[in-house]
Structure 1
Amino acid sequence: MKDSTSNMHSQDIFEEEDQDFSLSEYIRRYVRYWYLFPIFIALALTAAFFYLQVTQPIYSTKTSILIKDENKGLSGAQGDILSELSSQFGGNKLVENELEIIKSQTLMEQAIKELDLDVSYTTKDGLRTVNLYKTSPVIVKAEVINPFGYREPMIIHVVDSTHFRFNDEDRAFTFNQRFNNAWGAFIVTKGTDSEFDEVKVHFTEVKNLAEDMLNRLSVEQPNAKSTVLELTYEDSDVQRSKDVLNKLLDVYVQSSLSDKNSEASNTLKFIENRLGLITGELGDVEKDVESYKTNQGITDISAESQLFLENIKENDSKLNEVNTKISILESVDNYIQNAGEGAVAPATYMIDDPVLVSLLTKFNELELQRERYARTTSPNNPLLQTINTQLAGTRQSIRENVQNLKRGMAVTKRNLEGINTRFSAGLRSIPKKEREFVGIKRQQSIKEELYLYLLQKREETALAYASTVTDSRLIDAPISTFHPIKPKRGLIWLGAGAVGVIVPFLLINLLFLLKNTVQRREEIEKVTHSSILGEIGQMKALPDGKPGEEAVIKMTSRSAVAEQFRALRTNLQYLGDGSCRVIMFTSSIGGEGKSFVSINLAASLAYSDKRVLLIGLDLRKPTLHERLMVPNKFGASNCLIGQGHYEDFIQPTGVHPKFDVLTSGPIPPNPSELLSNGKLPVLLTELKEKYDYILIDSPPYGLVTDAALIGEHVDATLYIVRFNYTVVDHLRRIGELRRARRFANLSVVFNGVNYGAGYGYGYGYGGYGYGYYDEETESKVQTIGTRIKKLVSKS
């Protein structure tokens, strides 16, 4: 129970230590690759420099307009008169609606056509593209543009004041001629004098250009309590931006005036038609009066006749007014039924019902808004659909109101007709001639009053038509910024510097995230909690092209790797109680350097006057005999199956007289069973009497169980971890082996360390002491790159 608690406690300490954060280790990660930061900063600043050279500066131009409010700004009698006249046809404007109208595609396309912006001119000035708006040496008047012309710009080379060339053609053409080519049909004329003789002509579809320009146009209402709109347009050419804003406002004003004039014109047309009818009827009645007086010789009317006449006249006047109102209501009903199909709008001032007048005014306003939005928006626009819904509701209300009024007028008409019947009965007592004259005279008076009434309304409508003015007023003319708003040079430089720092920072982190192999000894110590018995540096390639890890090092040399093997030989005394003589070499996977380390450590021990035997117990994939270049016809597998004595199979290596080798021998079909048959411990016991050290090259522990079977009979185990090769996850297996005590005296050897990559930071043979030794194959003259790498390793 106590041992279990102890193991759990040690495991908790192990996991807790794994989670510790080391600031110095984290900083070393970036110091190790310090050279990436100046490289990326230089690249980013260079890219920023070329970006600023290539990018055209963008300027901002602003202007503001006032949308007039009919309820403000006018006072007194004159204001009332003007307000009354303008209210007949102007209607109330919503600032939000006008904002959307100004930003409509239709108005922008019209402005583009009037300014000829669908044809633009540019040229190159070094790396920068220069816009030649109104300064181009050539002017192209396009008649027909082909699809190819919209995709590719046309290049014109100015030869002299009268000649030019197209693209790469050698033939010279004269100005003011009509041309047909792949771009379309157009005329090229002479422009302004310019220092540039090569011009790129860009043809752009008006629709696409309008969309792009609308994206650069901003219309805002700075103050919600005012009716001022502020227009902002961004462009690389200051003059062009001012022209665009001016032309857009001109188009907007003309569109607004056109809507007003159309409404007034329809009203005048209706009055003129009515006047024509009344004029003809009045002329006929006057002729009847004149003819009757002449034929009948009537000069005066008796007092009684006069009284009847006055009563009947007054009653007939009312009856005629009712008939007129009924006629107007019928015209209103007809207009409402046929609205939008060319019907003439009725005159609302001839209707005295305030509800109907209000509904007609609202209907006319909605109709005008619908026509206005229909020109600038799509049929599925929610705003247009809302207006159509309001129009339908208003039309229904008007028709119901008209029907109610007509029923009331019909009752009034029947009453007046009954009164007329009674007056007519009284007139029967008047002589026939006088009664006939009164009837004719009555018709004359009625027609005359109606005629004068229509004349008055026509003059009022004409006056309102003549005084129609725009509902907006320019406050500030377009003003451009003195300095460009884009690109922001300071921000670009600052951003480039930040990118130069962030990119290598992310790159280094990504490199460490993707790189799952062992890079430093701290990783081994942190994960395995095992001691590192020694470090072996990376061997250079052999002259014959073979990898350096296949070499047998000359132990008499003063190379760094030879010194590291001497240090490893010295550190063997710290294994266990210092009496470990049978040592096994294993690893997680193949290729981590078990054979390389075991051969050279055995050679180093032999040079220290120790008798050493190296046994190849990798019975599945033996390579020991190939490295030592000895035969492998017989070996350890023969001993384990009882085919002869070990002395018959031990061979000298030729590296040193005290260094012998027992190769693996023929590959058996059952290596695991062979290692566990009980003959291996007997063999090792006999060999201990003859040799000071017995080194065993075993298979990788992470792949097969052979190493676990061999490990039961050895004094110590050296687990080989290779730099930039062993996966970090495999280190956890070493820690598990250590905690479970599967191997006696387990230690780690860090092989293939590349000190030139910034490893170490001053410990072991890869740090400050590295310069005390000379590689035999290394040049005495150090390159700049080598010096930088050593400087990094010392930083």
Structure 2
Amino acid sequence: MKDRYIDREDEIEVESKSSDNKALHQFIGRILANWYWFMLFGLLGLSVAYFKARYSIPSYNIRAKLLVSDDKKGGGPTGGSALGELSGLMGTKSSVDNEVEVLKTRDLMREMVLVEKAYISYFHVGKVHNVPVLESPYRLELLSSADSIFSAIEIKIKVLDAQRILLSHGTQSKEVAINQAFTWNGVGVMLLTLAHKNVELEEEYGVRIVPLRTAIADLMGRLSVSVTNSNVSTIDLTLIHQVPERGEALMHSLISRYVERNLHDKNVVADSTLSFINARLTKITEELSGVEDRISGYKQSTKLADITEQSRILLENSAGYTKSIAEVETQLTSLEAITSYLSDTSNPRVVPSTVLSQDGTFAALTTKYNELVLQRERLLLANTEANPLVQNITMQIAGLRKDMIDNVASTRRQLELTKNNQVELSNRVTSQIQQVPTIERGYIDLARLQQIKQAQYVFLQEKWEETAISRTANVSNSKVIDSPKADASPFAPRATTMYAVGLILGLAFPMFVLWLRELLNVRIRNVDDIERYNELTVLGMIAHSEEQGQVVVTKTSRSPIAEQFRAMRTNLEFALNGGKTILFTSSMSGEGKSYVALNLAVALALLDKKVLIMELDLRKPSITAKLGLPSGKGFSHYIVRPDMRVDEIIMPSGTHENVDLVQAGAIPPNPAELLIHPRTQQLMNELAERYDYILMDAPPVGMVTDAQLLGRYADLCLYLVRQGYTYKEQLRIPNDLVRNDKIKPIQLVVNDIQAKGGYYSNYGYGYGYGYGYGYGDYGQMGKKKKWWQFYKRG
């Protein structure tokens, strides 16, 4: 059992490999059989690719590289320098990822488009297509706003004379004067000038104008900004453009706008801080001058020249507390100023971040607050306050303002506690000083006030100097390390790639057609279709015949089709197994029952056998007409006339001396009843004694039941299937007849097989026994189809 199981597995594996090889052979055979179509469409695909590559406008990559000062990676122009330490004063921290997003913004691209007028481009009118050019003999200037452009147009320009130019767009045309403004619907007011006087009249140029949004979207789609290496803070920019010089100019302009915007943001924060410090310095200077005047006057009025040693010690102690109180009051004053900035909710302003103690939480909130205020101001340049983006940022600013006010309040409480402690200590010293003479105590009060004002003045002066230095040393966060430059060769179109694609598509088209034909085909085309839908034995296969006559089998014929009938005759001896009555039927009319019956009858007669053909298609008889015989008495006459003898209905067929014919006779109104009449059985018994073979030509079994009724008299039923004619689903009919015991046994005969090349061209038509095309030693070669008959049926 184990060995048998192993053998079965080997058998399955062999069958699987054979099936795979057969499918591969079929695929290759179909390609080889239709090689001319693949060659034709392959050449056509290459031709299309050639013209596409020849007349396509090349596109170039314009590349640039920026180095960004990233705090996380320590790169950039100011990293590691003294100025880099001061960069924190502005609250300006950069990240390479943030800068990438800034470079991708529509606002930045809009600035570049407006500056470079990228919504206007020029082209040279060619015979095949328009070629973009960098310069044109004409210059078009849009006098109205760029936002007035509503639709994209291409205007062709033609010189009429020295003062007039003809503009045309589709069916619309207009004559305009040079250097004179004119209006174009959908665009606005424009002015056309000549770049130089010598303009060739034969050369025709044009200008393309697109809406501002379209130009921005187009350039953003062609711009690529990426960080190719995560270990360094460099940004790679790539712009696709058909005019390399124009693309380089656009890239330069984009980088310039980006650098200017970066410096502008830094300078806004610095200028706001300087303005705040200047206002405070002016006020503190006035207060300090007043205190110094009071001290000078006090000394003059009291004639105070020296201070005792006790006063010196008390003053030193008092000075320490006074300095601490002064520092706290300075910070409280700064908090009041910050609070006044934050209290103005109607017009958010940039908050200075360098006048407070270095509180990390407040510094982070201030940096975020200033960024949102600057972003809001940029959006208000092109939008109103009702814009959802502006409202969203305003809400974020309000939230940050609340957090900052809470932080300031918390800081204020801490400073007030510190101040109260210092005041308490100072009061203790003051109580001791009260024992000093009144004049000296008055001087100490004035000196303390002077120290407070002087400390505030020095603090603000230092901050002003630091901010001014930072303002002067402001540089952009990015540096161009690789200027915009177009590649030497275009990246598209690539001729090699286009040729490969053209060839692949060209070869794929006929393959797709073959696959589609196979998919949509519902008729029998090859042996695989028969094997897929059928479980019955195939007795023989008959090739397509180009001969005009109905009988192709003769004593001397050696044609392939005659040999196929002889092969079928040999197979028939085994199929009959001693019987002699054969029934011919099919699924529908036109599948060749009469043709096969006549030729098989002659093939049997060549063995010196007596053969009778019975024309039992009582509804639509055709054998008599095909043989060219006159109509006479036949089967229907014999059945309805009891006095008629068998010899009266038998006649020579004219095809062979051993082949006789029984005609159908008059077409009866009840053919089914005649076929099961008792005289029919009597007739069949008498004919069986006279003849070696009886061939009954019956109606199609798929239409009427006559063939099923005749099946009771037959030893074998031959079911005709015609290639390219019989439907695949109709193969289920004979299988159902056998399965339901309506007609048994049934074997198939495949008729009208046409050799179309490929895997089946040398398969043979005898199902292993016959001869196919190519066996010239056995007869005349059949006529092959011409190559242009690829889609025709034989």
SS of residue in 1 equivalent to 2:725: coil
Residue deviations 1:556-581, cap 9 Å, x none? 999999x8469637954653279865
**Aligned-partner Cα distance in 2 for 1:100–1:146:** 25
1:535 aligned to 2:542?
Answer: yes
1:227 aligned to 2:227?
Answer: no
SS of residue in 2 equivalent to 1:40: helix
1:214 aligned to 2:220?
Answer: yes
Consecutive unaligned residues in structure 2, runs of 5 or more: 1-7, 765-770
Deviation at 1:67, TM superposition (A): 1.0
Distance 1:756 1:227, change over 3 A: closer
SS of residue in 1 equivalent to 2:35: coil
Q: Compare 110-119 and 766-775 and name the one that shifted more.
A: 766-775
| Conserved 8 A contact 1:59-1:480 | yes
Paired residue for 1:85?
86
**Aligned-partner Cα distance in 2 for 1:645–1:18:** 60
**Aligned-partner Cα distance in 1 for 2:555–2:341:** 115
| Conserved 8 A contact 2:270-2:471 | yes
Distance 1:389 1:694, change over 3 A: same
Q: What is the number of residues matched between the two proteins?
A: 755
| Conserved 8 A contact 2:552-2:561 | no
Distance 1:732 1:21, change over 3 A: farther
| Conserved 8 A contact 2:62-2:484 | yes
1:189 aligned to 2:190?
Answer: no
Paired residue for 1:263?
269
Distance 1:647 1:69, change over 3 A: closer
Distance 1:724 1:406, change over 3 A: same
Q: TM-score, normalised by structure 2?
A: 0.78
Residue identity matched to 1:363: L
> Residue 367 of structure 2 is aligned with which of 361, 365, 368?
365
SS of residue in 2 equivalent to 1:699: coil
Paired residue for 2:565?
568
Deviation at 1:491, TM superposition (A): 1.9
Distance 1:531 1:439, change over 3 A: closer
**Aligned-partner Cα distance in 1 for 2:432–2:26:** 126
**Aligned-partner Cα distance in 2 for 1:145–1:627:** 86
Paired residue for 1:543?
none
Alignment of 1:99-118 (within 5 A): 99-118=100-119
1:469 aligned to 2:475?
Answer: yes
Paired residue for 2:3?
none
Deviation at 1:225, TM superposition (A): 1.9
| Conserved 8 A contact 1:539-1:752 | no
Deviation at 1:260, TM superposition (A): 0.4
Paired residue for 1:545?
none
**Aligned-partner Cα distance in 1 for 2:99–2:626:** 90
**Aligned-partner Cα distance in 2 for 1:54–1:371:** 52
SS of residue in 1 equivalent to 2:94: coil
**Aligned-partner Cα distance in 2 for 1:786–1:254:** 75
Q: Compare 216-225 and 114-123 and name the one that shifted more.
A: 216-225
Residue deviations 1:209-248, cap 9 Å, x none? 3233223222232332211222222222211221122111
**Aligned-partner Cα distance in 1 for 2:142–2:149:** 17
Distance 1:632 1:565, change over 3 A: same
Paired residue for 1:242?
248
Residue deviations 1:491-513, cap 9 Å, x none? 22123223333433343344334
| Conserved 8 A contact 1:64-1:228 | yes
Deviation at 1:121, TM superposition (A): 1.9
SS of residue in 2 equivalent to 1:229: strand
Alignment of 1:145-160 (within 5 A): 150-159=151-160
Distance 1:169 1:420, change over 3 A: closer
Paired residue for 2:176?
173
Deviation at 1:411, TM superposition (A): 2.9
Deviation at 1:469, TM superposition (A): 1.2
Deviation at 1:52, TM superposition (A): 0.9
Alignment of 1:265-284 (within 5 A): 265-284=271-290
Consecutive unaligned residues in structure 1, runs of 5 or more: 1-7, 541-547
Residue identity matched to 1:180: T
**Aligned-partner Cα distance in 1 for 2:741–2:39:** 49
Distance 1:282 1:394, change over 3 A: closer
Paired residue for 2:706?
706
**Aligned-partner Cα distance in 2 for 1:146–1:80:** 46
Residue identity matched to 1:710: L
Distance 1:668 1:60, change over 3 A: same
Residue identity matched to 1:699: P
Paired residue for 2:66?
65
SS of residue in 2 equivalent to 1:231: strand
Paired residue for 1:319?
325
| Conserved 8 A contact 1:121-1:136 | no
Distance 1:162 1:610, change over 3 A: farther
Distance 1:649 1:241, change over 3 A: farther
Residue identity matched to 1:720: L
Residue deviations 1:177-209, cap 9 Å, x none? 212133422112223677773233222233333
SS of residue in 1 equivalent to 2:573: coil
Paired residue for 1:723?
723
Residue identity matched to 2:192: V
**Aligned-partner Cα distance in 1 for 2:557–2:162:** 80
**Aligned-partner Cα distance in 2 for 1:408–1:12:** 91
Paired residue for 1:482?
488
Q: TM-score, normalised by structure 1?
A: 0.78
SS of residue in 1 equivalent to 2:90: coil
Distance 1:373 1:19, change over 3 A: farther
| Conserved 8 A contact 1:555-1:607 | no
Residue identity matched to 2:151: Y
Distance 1:587 1:66, change over 3 A: same
